[in-house]
Amino acid sequence: MIPTSRNASLVFHLFLIGVALFVLVPFVWIVAAGFKTQISLLQGEVFFTPTLASFREVLFSKTTEFLANTTNSFIVATASTLVILVAATLGGYAIERMNVPRWLVHTLLGWAVVFHMVPPITLVAAWFPIYRELGLDNTYIGLTLGHVAVHLPMALWLMTNFVRDVPIELEEAARIDGCSTPFLIWRIVVPLVAPGLAATAILMFIFSWNEFAVALNLTAKQTATIPVAIAKFAQGYEIKYGEMAATAALALVPALAFLLFGQRYIVKGLTTGAVK
If you write DSSP's letter for every residue of 81-96 in order, what string do you get? HHHHHHHHHHHHHHHH
| pLDDT tens digits, one per residue of 3-57 | 567 777 888 888 889 888 888 888 888 888 888 888 888 777 778 888 888 888 8
Quickly list H helices, the chain.
4-34, 38-43, 53-60, 66-97, 102-116, 121-134, 140-164, 168-176, 181-184, 190-192, 194-210, 213-218, 226-231, 241-269
| pLDDT tens digits, one per residue of 213-246 | 899 989 888 899 999 988 888 876 778 888 888 9
User: Mean pLDDT, to the nearest integer, of 70-95?
Assistant: 93
> Do residues 273 and 220 touch, judged by C-beta distance below 8 A?
no
Q: What is the pLDDT of residue 111?
A: 81
Q: Pick the more confident residue, 65 or 276.
A: 65
User: Mean pLDDT, to the nearest integer, of 186-196?
Assistant: 86
User: Mean pLDDT, to the nearest integer, of 145-169?
Assistant: 89
Q: Is the pLDDT reported for residue 273 higher than 50?
A: no
Give the percent of the chain with pLDDT over 70.
92
Q: What is the pLDDT of residue 3?
A: 54
Q: What is the number of alpha carbons within 13 Å of residue 63 lying toward its C-beta?
A: 6
Q: What is the pLDDT of residue 276?
A: 42
Q: What is the pLDDT of residue 148?
A: 94
Q: Is the pLDDT reported for residue 261 higher than 80?
A: no
Whole-number Å distance between alpha carbons of 132 and 135: 5
CATH 1.10.3720.10 corresponds to the domain 63-274:
yes
Label residue 267 by pLDDT band (50, 70, 90).
low
Q: Measuring CA to CA, which residue among 89, 63, 77 is closest to residue 182?
A: 89
Residue type, 45: E
Parse the chain into domains and list their residue ranges: 63-274
Give the percent of the chain with pLDDT over 90.
20
| pLDDT tens digits, one per residue of 51-82 | 888 888 888 887 788 889 999 999 999 999 99
Q: Would you call 109 helix, strand, or coil by DSSP?
A: helix
Residue type, 231: A
Q: Is the pLDDT reported for residue 134 higher than 60?
A: yes
Q: What is the pLDDT of residue 275?
A: 41
Q: What is the pLDDT of residue 240?
A: 85
User: Mean pLDDT, to the nearest integer, of 142-157?
Assistant: 92
> Do residues 115 and 180 touch, judged by C-beta distance below 8 A?
no
User: Mean pLDDT, to the nearest integer, of 150-173?
Assistant: 87
Q: Is the pLDDT reported for residue 124 higher than 90?
A: no
Q: Pick the more confident residue, 113 or 271.
A: 113
